[in-house]
Amino acid sequence: MREDIMKESVIYQDIKSQGKAEGKAEGKQEGEANLIKILLNSRFGQIEPDLTEIINQLSVEQLESLGTLLLNFESESDLRDWLTQQD
């Protein structure tokens, strides 16, 4: 019975909503990072593991920017230069 009352509370609902939003944002970031890595690996071959780690840490906005720019990169060096500028 107490569990039912707790689940109906405003605080519980707020925490639950925040958790869902955070999960969606994290899932979006991971999905975009994976797509970027697939595109980069297709374009340049297997990219260096250190670059993969950096890409995994980028924000959604940075990943979207990278996605539009990566077709202009001529080498992995261009990618590394762009990532260095993101700090």
Distance CA 25, CA 20 (A): 9
Burial zone of 79 (CB within 10 Å; 0-12 exposed, 13-18 middle, 19+ buried): buried
* Neighbouring residues of 67: CB distance < 8 A, sequence distance ≥ 6: 32, 35, 36, 39
**Crossing angle, helix 49-57 and helix 76-85, to 10 degrees?**
40
What's the pLDDT score for residue 19? 63
List, run by run, the mean pLDDT of 10-residue segments along the chain (87 residues): 60 65 72 94 94 95 93 94 90
User: Which pLDDT score, from 0 to 100, does residue 1 have?
Assistant: 47
Specify the pLDDT at position 27. Answer: 76
Question: What is the rounded distance in angstroms from the CA atom of residue 11 to the CA atom of residue 31?
Answer: 30
